[in-house]
Amino acid sequence: MRIEAADVGTRTDVLVTRLTGLSRSYVATAIKAGVVSVNGSAAKPSRILEEGDRLHFAIDPPPVYAVLPQAIPLDIVFEDETVMVVNKPAGLVSHPAHGSADGTLVNALLAHAGSLPGEAIRGGLVHRLDRDTSGLLVVAKTEAALSTLGRAMQKRYIKREYRGLVEGIPREAEGTIRGALGRDARNRMRYAIRSDGKPSITHYAVRERLRHAAELTFRLETGRTHQIRVHLAALGHPIINDPLYGRPDSRLALPGQALHAWKLEFKHPRTKEYLSFAVEPPPEYLAALTFLRG
C-alpha cells in the first residue's frame, strides 16, 4: 500500500497494528522477523512513515488454541468470588503457547473456576511466571477484577518479591540494576539488554551469603519477560541452574532456575482491603539452599 497524507508520521508498527487488528507486540515481533518492508527494504517497528512510502506486509495471525479445563492440582493460597492467589509449581507453564498447547496453569484454573475473564489463552491471569519459576500469582475471576488489577499492575501498585540463588556473591549487599530488555538478536528464545528495549528495573538485596553463592531477594519495578534472569546474568551473578542465562548444575535436583516468587501484595479490587501473602520456596529450592551452605 502507498502511504497517504493521513498516515504520514505514523510508526510502522502502529499502522500495521491498526490495519491488521493484531496486537502491537505481535506485530513488532513479526516486523523484526523481516515480514514487513517499506520501499522494498526490511522495516524497523519504530520507522516513521512518509508520504509516498510503499508499505508491504504479510503477517500470519497467531495460532488459535482451544483452551479446555484440565484437572491439574492447584495450590490455592486465597480465594473468594472475585480473585484467587495460587502458588504455581516450577515446571508448570502459565498459559497455552507454542509448544505448550495444554497442561498449563490456565487449563487448571478453568477446571477449578469454570470460566475466567479476558483473552481465552490467558484467562484471568494478571501477570505470569516463567515455566520453571515457582511462586505466587494473582488471578482475576471477573472482568471488573481483571481490569482493576491490570491497571494496578501497570501503575506498579501490585508488589512482588522474589527469592533466588545466584552464582557468586555480589560485591554490594544491595543495589539496583537498570537495563532495557528486548529479544536477543542471535537467539529468539532469549532476551538481552538492548538500547531499543523496554525500560526495566530490578532491585536486589543479599539475603544470605553461601559458599561461592548467595541467596538474594528481588523487587521489580517492571515485569519484563526473563527480567531477573537477564539482569543478574548481566551483573555477573546468574541465577543458579538457569539453562538460558547461566549453566546447569548437576549437583542440584532443580527443574530449572532457582527462582521463587515468594511475596505478593495488592489491594483487593472489590473490597479495597490490602492483602499480603508469602510462601516459602519449594523443597527442591530449599534443598539446594542447604547444599550451598556447604
Cα-based distances in Å from 257 to 38, 217, 253: 41, 14, 11
Distance CA 227, CA 191 (A): 8
- Closest by CA position to 193, among listed 156, 230, 138: 230
CA of 55: how far to CAs of 23, 44, 98, 194, in Å?
A: 18, 12, 29, 26
102 is catalytic: no
Question: Are 160 and 228 contacting, i.e. CB atoms less than 8 angstroms apart?
Answer: no
Distant-in-sequence, close-in-space partners of 70: CB < 8 Å, separation ≥ 6: 102, 103, 107, 108, 110, 111
Q: Look up residue 285 and give its three cell numbers.
A: 529450592
What angle, 0 to 180 degrees and rounded to 10, lies between the N-to-C axes of helices 24-32 and 12-20? 120
Of 248, 170, 152, residue with least CA distance to 215: 170
Q: How far is CA 218 from CA 175, 208, 215, 221, 279, in A?
A: 10, 13, 10, 10, 15
Find the catalytic residue in 13, 130, 132, 242: 130
> Any idea which residues carry the catalytic annotation?
130
